Each structure stands twice: as C-alpha cells, then as structure tokens.
Amino acid sequence: MNERTYSTPLGKIHYWVHLISPDAITLVFLPGLTADHRLFDKQIVYFEGKYNVLVWDAPGHAASWPFAFDFDLMDKARWLDGILEQEGITKPVIVGQSMGGYVGQAYAQIYHEKLKGFVSIDSAPLQRKYMTKPELWLLKRMEPVYRHYPWKALLESGTKGVALSEYGRNLMRDMMLVYDGDQERYAKLSGYGYRILAEAVERDLPYEIKCPALLICGEQDKAGSCVRYNKAWHKDTGIPLEWIKDAGHNSNTDQPEIVNRLIERLAEGMR
C-alpha cells in the first residue's frame, strides 16, 4: 500500500492505495468515527492483489491531522471523489463501516452515476424517517459527554462496546490510543462527527442507493439502534441484509473471513 495525501482548504487527508489498474473495480474502505485505516487491515490483506484497494484516515482522524472542523458530510463525500479522481479510479465500490457507511450514502446522493457498488458494515440509513427526534437531539450534544467522561473508562467502554473478539478489541484500543493525552481532540472529533451526521439526516434527502448493495450487521451490535435500523432499511429497500454471528459493531474485525467473503461475492457479481 502506498500512502498518499489529498489537500483540502481545511487540511490534508492521508490515504493508502494499491492499484492493479485504475479501470478495475476499486474497494474503497471507509472506517467509522474515531477509527482509522487500520480498522480494515484484515480486508486489505485479503483483497490486495485481487482488486484495487483504497482506505483513508477520515478528516481529523489519526494521520489526517491537523484538520479544521468546518465541514459537513457532503464535503467528506466531495473530498473522497477528489481522491478517486486524483488516482484515476473509475469503478469505486464503497465499503463503509458505521460513519463510513454514512459517507458512502452521501457519496451516492451526489455521485450516484459514479458509484458502482456499496457495502454497509454496521451502519444505518441516512433518511430522516428512520431516526427519532430524541436521537437527533442527542447526536448534536455528544461532545461534552466525551469531554467529561473519565478517559480510562471511556477507553474501556469504547473497546468492549464495539467488538467481541480479542483482536477487534485490541485494535480499537490501539486506534483510540492515538488520542491518549488529548481527550479534548477525541471529544471534539466524536461530537463533531455525530453533529454532522444529525445535520445530514435533517436535510431529508433521498440518499437512494442505485447500485448493487449489501447490508452487513453484527448480531450483537450494541451501538445505538443499529440492529433496528438495519432491519427497517432492508425491509423498506430490499437491499440484502447479512447478519454476522458472534460479531459486534465492528463485525469486520470480529469475523473478518465471513465479511471478506460477503464483500467478495458482491464484487465478483460486478465483473
């Protein structure tokens, strides 16, 4: 994987890419909030050499810092498109975990003609009808919670709350430790991410997925109302939904072999 950067007016985005051919299918891996490119290590190892692969540290995350918090979800989608254009990528398949899945839906809203495939991993639909008013209210007010929560307790709950496997928990702990000693940055990053998510939902846009798609969700995903959202998303759209046994919110780290096969099945169907 080659590390590269993409310049925006607010800071540089770091991403890693390996291309077989720009015209081949590219699996674009987008990590969730506060996670970084390492979230998809098991996927990169599996797919590198089979497909083009690209993964980023989202704006403000890990290596993509310093970065001004003055953007919205649509800006992230536009910057992602700029990265794909910079690399000459023409057949992107977005694989987004949690917040990464929301970025993927924002991308689908703006660039539906460019998006060739979409995989949601423990994410949820962006349409307004799925989220309650109390949920939206709370999303906009999370920063003080993360700022005042004891860091050791936050580290403990943050790792055990998203994964069931030892690998998944250790990985999440390592990614959270990027912010060790700077809880203010972690709180800002988390709170801002939730706020722009709420604002994207409140825009009440269609966020329709018009390409081949797949929903993946851990059976024991305890993050928010992810299980409820995915059931409704599948029912309303008919997008296939795969439940991952013995997996939490980061199901791609708890059961990487199963998730990899599901992603591969979607990608193979597009060849």
Q: For residue 172, which of 30, 40, 16 has the smallest C-alpha distance?
A: 40
Inform me whether the pLDDT recorded for 201 exceeds 80.
Answer: yes
Inform me whether the pLDDT recorded for 187 exceeds 90.
Answer: yes
Inform me whether the pLDDT recorded for 134 exceeds 80.
Answer: yes
Q: Provide the pLDDT for residue 191.
A: 98
Q: What is the band of 224 on the pLDDT scale with cuts at 50, 70, 90?
A: confident
Structural fold of domain 2-126+206-268: Rossmann fold (3.40.50)
Inform me whether the pLDDT recorded for 265 exceeds 90.
Answer: yes
Model pTM above 0.85: yes
- Mean pLDDT across the chain, nearest whole number? 97
CA atoms within 13 A on the CB side of 10: 15
| Domain boundaries defined on the chain | 2-126+206-268
Inform me whether the pLDDT recorded for 124 exceeds 90.
Answer: yes
* DSSP codes of every residue in 84-99: HHHHT--EEEEEEETH
Inform me whether the pLDDT recorded for 271 exceeds 80.
Answer: no
Percentage of residues in the chain having pLDDT higher than 90: 97
Q: Provide the pLDDT for residue 270.
A: 86
Average pLDDT over residues 199-212: 97
Q: What is the β-pairing status of strands 213-218 and 52-56?
A: unpaired
